[in-house]
């Protein structure tokens, strides 16, 4: 995922723009938080105007959404504040409408926003993982570490979606009032997060308030942390979130990556030597999962997604190479 480092960004600092992308119904406004200029994958906050209506249909990209204010009627069910959707590419949703309007965060993970009217799934769609739950009411907070080494006490999480093969994860997290952590961390994966409510402070990037967002590529130092009054946030990673902790605020991403590789050299020396000796650009064959390819092709169920990608890039005024 080739998105640039965006940190900090606060969506309250910018206005909504009408969302006029081809295929979508009128009555949507958006703020783009981050975008992958190669494939159009993006994260946005979305305002559904009151009276919005959308027929049944699907997206060509895997998509996740959290309703933060208001409500949507999805088929015959109401999705209110805290409703979390995980919708694999090509899986259709029933008709959606909103009497009061809604404010939501939406992730298009592997391709640009798209909407195709349909009352059934795309032929290549895989419903595995599809869910609509209430993230606030249906799950319990887990104190501290779901990973080792973990963060300081007072940071809790709820896992919303976890990919067993890649370790990619979407989760709610909170910091209790008075939370603090006095070390620096980086990860082998990209992570993004959005503050639903509250302000936290970080040594490198200052205060991140309500509406604050970051897209942080791998190996970038972050921390120490503190929060006076606590926060509620949603985060997402594109791989296994291992906390590499240290106390050197001046280390660079390249140095951090070397240090992370040394962890592999120490802990998995045989695999590490094999990777080195096997040459570059030749990924190992995974006999247990021969059809898995972790690139956008797996996740975007039709070439038409590329057409939508160009449409989206041009609507944002972004120069994009046509293939
Ligand atoms: Fe992190």
Q: How far is the CA of 72 from the centre of ligand 1 (A)?
A: 32
Range of lowest pLDDT (7-11, 186-190, 278-282):
278-282
| Token output for 249 | 């605020």
Any idea what the Cα angle at residue 131 is, between residues 125 and 133, rounded to 5°?
A: 165
Per-domain boundaries in the chain = 6-137, 142-267
pLDDT at 53 over 60: yes
CA 301 to ligand 1 center in whole angstroms: 31
pLDDT of 197-217, one tens digit each? 999 999 999 999 999 999 999
- Residue 126 makes CB contacts below 8 A (sequence gap 6+) with 88, 90, 91
Q: What local confidence, expressed as pLDDT, does residue 302 receive?
A: 43
Could you tell me the distance, in angstroms and rounded to a whole number, from the CA of residue 46 to the centre of ligand 1? 25
Distance 165 CA to ligand 1 centre (A): 20
* Distance from the alpha carbon of residue 82 to the mean position of ligand 1, in angstroms: 23
CA distance 175 to 178: 8
pLDDT confidence bin for 297, thresholds 50/70/90: very low
Q: From the CA of 218, how far away is ligand 1's center (Å)?
A: 9
Superfamily of segment(s) 142-267: Jelly Rolls (2.60.120.10)
191 Cα: distance to centroid of ligand 1 (angstroms): 7
Q: How far is the CA of 74 from the centre of ligand 1 (A)?
A: 33
Cβ neighbours of 262 (radius 10 Å): 11
pLDDT (mean) for 283-308: 56
pLDDT of residue 307: 46
**Segment 68-127, tens digit of pLDDT:** 999 999 999 999 999 999 999 999 999 999 999 999 999 999 889 999 999 999 998 999
Ligand 1 centroid from CA 175, angstroms: 13
> How far is ligand 1, taken at its centre, from the CA of residue 187, in Å?
7
- Asked whether residue 23 carries a pLDDT value surpassing 50, the answer given is yes
Tell me the CA–centroid distance for residue 105 and ligand 1, in Å. Answer: 20
Percent of the chain residues past pLDDT 90, beyond the cut: 73
Tell me, in angstroms, the distance from the centre of ligand 1 to residue 244's CA: 9
Residue 258 to residue 71: CA distance in whole angstroms: 47
Which residue in this structure is represented by tokens 């989206």?
312
CATH of 6-137 given 1.10.10.60, 1.10.1040.10, 2.60.120.10, 2.70.210.12 = 2.60.120.10
Same fold, 6-137 and 142-267: yes
């Amino acid at each position: 995922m080739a998105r640039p480092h965006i940190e900090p960004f606060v969506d309250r600092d910018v206005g909504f723009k009408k969302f006029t992308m081809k295929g979508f119904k009128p009555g949507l406004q958006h703020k783009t938080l981050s975008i992958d200029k190669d494939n159009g994958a993006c994260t946005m906050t979305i305002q559904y105007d009151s009276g919005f209506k959308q027929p049944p249909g699907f997206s060509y990209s895997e998509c996740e959404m959290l309703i933060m204010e208001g409500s949507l009627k999805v088929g015959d069910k109401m999705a209110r504040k805290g409703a979390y959707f995980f919708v694999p590419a090509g899986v259709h949703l029933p008709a959606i409408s909103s009497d009061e309007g809604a404010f939501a965060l939406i992730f298009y993970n592997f391709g640009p926003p798209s909407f195709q009217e349909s009352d059934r799934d795309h032929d290549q769609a895989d419903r595995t993982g599809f869910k609509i739950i209430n993230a606030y009411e249906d799950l319990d907070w887990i104190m501290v570490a779901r990973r080792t080494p973990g963060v300081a006490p007072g940071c809790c999480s709820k896992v919303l979606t976890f990919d067993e093969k890649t370790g990619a994860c979407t989760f709610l997290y909170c910091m209790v009032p008075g939370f603090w952590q006095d070390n620096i961390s980086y990860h082998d994966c990209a992570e993004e997060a959005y503050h639903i409510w509250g302000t936290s402070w970080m040594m490198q990037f200052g205060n991140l308030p309500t509406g604050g967002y970051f897209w942080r590529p791998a190996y970038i130092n972050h921390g120490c942390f503190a929060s006076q009054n606590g926060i509620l946030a949603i985060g997402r990673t594109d791989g296994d979130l291992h906390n590499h902790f240290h106390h050197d605020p001046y280390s660079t991403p390249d140095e951090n990556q070397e240090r992370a590789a040394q962890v592999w050299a120490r802990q998995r020396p045989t695999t590490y030597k094999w990777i080195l000796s096997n040459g570059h650009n030749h990924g190992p064959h995974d006999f247990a999962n021969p059809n898995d390819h972790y690139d956008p092709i797996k996740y975007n169920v039709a070439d038409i997604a590329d057409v939508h990608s160009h449409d989206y890039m041009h609507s944002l005024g972004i120069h994009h190479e046509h293939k």
